[in-house]
Amino acid sequence: MQSYNIHFIRHGACEESRKGIYVGTKDYPLSEEGKAELRKLDKEYEYPGTAVVFTSPLKRCLETCEIIYPAIKPIVIDDLRECSFGEWEGRSADSLSGNEDFKKWLAGDTFVKPPKGESGAEFTKRVCNIFQNIVDGLLKTKNTNSVIVTHGGVIMTLLSVYGLPQAKPFDWAMEDGCGYSMRVTPMLWMRDKVAEVYQRIPVEKKDDDDNYRDYDDFNDIIYFDE
């Protein structure tokens, strides 16, 4: 049976994300260092080929698309944006340590939301709804290979909900400019709404033995320690 490969790529680095502050829907661009790191990854490793790129509307994702897939006009989808941290955006965990709602939110209470922001439950519902719409569209149009350029929080949430092997969100953490490939099998998707996560990306370019090695040297095997 035909399968569908969806490749998730986290955007490159922006200055704010490396300051240890919450960066959600504020529209920061890539830093010059982040752009250079993406170009280096693109030169030394191999990103998946595709004719279809979906992306968050935020600058750091759009600029990532321009560097990795310059010849493809991405399809911008608003609901692929990062979680809104509301009034907590631009602040560090230390600066919020005395906030009772923040403590509950940090402990995993999905119904607590930052002032003027999204709760974990709202964020999960938003990104899951749009991802299911994307998958359904790919199945209908027979597009068997696609890329989604988005945010770390979006990718970790989606893989924790739909990915096999099953794992918690932070088990799916990734570096800037990196991500995972998922294989959607229509029968399994329609029955259980799950899909196999089969490699980390980017992968190392073909060597003389015609083999690939992924960015984190996992030999295309995804596993987690118990």
Residue at 113 is within a domain? no
Residue at 213 is within a domain? no
pTM: 0.91
- In the chain (226 residues long), the average pLDDT of successive 10-residue segments reads 94 90 94 97 97 97 98 98 96 94 94 96 98 97 97 98 97 97 97 97 76 45 43
* Residue numbers of the domain that contains 48: 4-85+119-204
CATH code where residue 44 lies: 3.40.50.1240
Residue at 114 is within a domain? no
DSSP 113-168: --TTS--HHHHHHHHHHHHHHHHHHHHHHT--EEEEEE-HHHHHHHHHHHEES---
Residue at 108 is within a domain? no
Residue at 61 is within a domain? yes
Residue at 161 is within a domain? yes
Tally of domains in the chain: 1
